[in-house]
């Protein structure tokens, strides 16, 4: 599995990571998925304190604790569960971040987090205070590096200007090319993109067409536009399987440090990981794919 450096950090992550939200809460299955991912060469695991009210972090921690130094462990903070667990509220305050990290460390059974990410963010936040919290955690050795998870350009620009983030997690796929407008800006700042949702809820996998078209569309694609796109996508002349093609599309951009598809079955994991060892796209294939898909832009939060 090829690796890439996240920003200017000392974190080298497998091109294909594992988005852990899809692991579920059944322990045996979750642990077997993580074990298999490691066997396949995946070293980057991304979770969050939000997922399953912390249980996801517990499962990931249990799976990797005996090989902690071989793993790049990422989690997120900012969504505060209410006492009655009826939902969560946004809290990017310094006090909450420094309280929450202790609980994440306990659940993950580790002394440090490789990449700690702000799980959202708005332009109304006290961004300076949030940055101060992450910088203090770095100085304390509790986290190695930090990043943000955001698709709001105005928030992204603030953190690029004011902080030492090494990564920005963004939803990015052939069916959601909105981040591409910002890639050169992000790259110029020496920061990497982590691509979540690279398979667009399974639309870009090898599943039969009739199974993919159960929904009424995707983002700005109507159902009819989506069907026309998928027919053309499946007819692209390439040695890659559909899943590989979709993941390699994201990895074609060197600003992308990793893609983190989820997997709830071993076979999905194998198909995802295969993209990390498959041939990289040619410029011609990449251009063909771009011609198939819309190039939308973020309209809000600019």
* 215 pLDDT higher than 80: no
* % residues pLDDT > 70 (the chain): 100
78 has a pLDDT exceeding 80: yes
- Confidence category of residue 244, pLDDT binned at 50, 70, 90: very high
17 by DSSP, 3-state: which?
A: coil
Please give the pLDDT value at position 53.
74
Q: Tell me what pLDDT residue 30 has.
A: 94
As a three-state string, the secondary structure of 246-258 is: HHHHHHCCCCEEE
For range 16-25, the mean pLDDT: 92
Tell me what pLDDT residue 89 has: 85
Q: What is the mean pLDDT of residues 230-240?
A: 89
In this predicted structure, what is the pLDDT of residue 81? Answer: 73
3-state secondary structure of 56: helix
pLDDT band at 86 (very low <50, low <70, confident <90, very high): confident
Q: Is the pLDDT of residue 291 over 90?
A: yes
pLDDT at res. 181: 97
Cα–Cα distances in angstroms (integers) from residue 184 to residues 57, 101, 231, in the given order: 33, 32, 31
Buried b (16+ CB within 10 A) or exposed e, 193-214: bbbbbbbbeebbbeeeeeebee
Q: Would you give the DSSP letter of residue 282?
A: P
**Cβ partners under 8 Å of residue 86, min gap 6:** none
Q: State residue 212's pLDDT score.
A: 80
> Which of the residues are catalytic?
51
- The full DSSP string for 113-136 is EEEEEE----TTS-HHHHHHHHHH
User: What is the rounded radius of gyration, in angstroms, for the C-alpha atoms of the chain?
Assistant: 19
Could you give the percent of the chain with pLDDT greater than 90?
A: 84
Per-residue model confidence (pLDDT) at position 129: 97
Whole-model pTM: value is 0.95
Helices 242-251 and 283-292 sit at what angle, rounded to 10 degrees?
100
List b or e across 66-87, with b for residues whose CB sees 16 or more CB atoms inside 10 angstroms. eeeeebbbbbbbbbbeeeeeee
DSSP structure string for 187-236: HHTT-EEEEESTTTTTTTSSS-HHHHTTSSEETTEEHHHHHHHHHHHHT-
Return the higher-pLDDT residue of 150 and 86: 150
Helix boundaries (H) for 67-171: 94-108, 127-139, 153-162
Domains of the chain as residue ranges with CATH: 3-292 (3.20.20.100)
| CA distances in angstroms from 266 to 17, 24, 30, 158, listed in the order given | 14, 13, 10, 39
């Amino acid at each position: 599995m090829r690796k890439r450096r996240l920003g200017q950090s000392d974190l080298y992550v497998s091109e294909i990571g594992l988005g852990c939200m899809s692991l579920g809460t059944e322990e045996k299955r979750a642990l077997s998925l993580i074990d298999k991912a490691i066997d396949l060469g995946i070293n980057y695991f991304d979770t969050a304190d939000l997922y399953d009210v912390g249980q996801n972090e517990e499962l990931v921690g249990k799976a990797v604790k005996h090989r902690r130094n071989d793993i790049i462990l990422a989690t997120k903070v900012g969504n505060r569960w209410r006492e009655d667990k009826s939902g969560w509220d946004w809290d990017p305050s310094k006090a909450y971040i420094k309280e929450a990290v202790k609980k994440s460390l306990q659940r993950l059974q580790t002394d440090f987090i490789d990449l700690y990410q702000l799980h959202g963010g708005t332009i109304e936040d006290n961004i300076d205070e949030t940055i101060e919290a992450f910088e203090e955690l770095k100085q304390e050795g509790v986290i190695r590096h930090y990043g943000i998870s955001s698709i709001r350009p105005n928030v992204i620009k603030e953190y690029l200007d004011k902080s030492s983030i090494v990564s920005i997690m963004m939803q990015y796929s052939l069916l959601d090319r909105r981040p591409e407008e910002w890639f050169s800006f992000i790259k110029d700042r020496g920061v990497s993109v982590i691509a979540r949702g690279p398979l667009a809820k399974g639309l870009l996998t090898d599943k039969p067409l009739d199974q993919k078209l159960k929904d009424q569309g995707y983002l700005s694609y109507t159902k009819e536009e989506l069907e026309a796109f998928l027919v053309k996508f499946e007819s692209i002349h390439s040695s890659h399987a559909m899943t590989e093609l979709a993941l390699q599309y994201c990895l074609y951009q060197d600003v992308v440090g990793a893609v983190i598809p989820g997997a709830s079955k071993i076979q999905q994991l194998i198909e995802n990981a295969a993209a990390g060892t498959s041939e990289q796209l040619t410029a011609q294939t990449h251009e063909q794919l771009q011609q198939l898909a819309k190039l939308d832009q973020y309209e809000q939060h600019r």
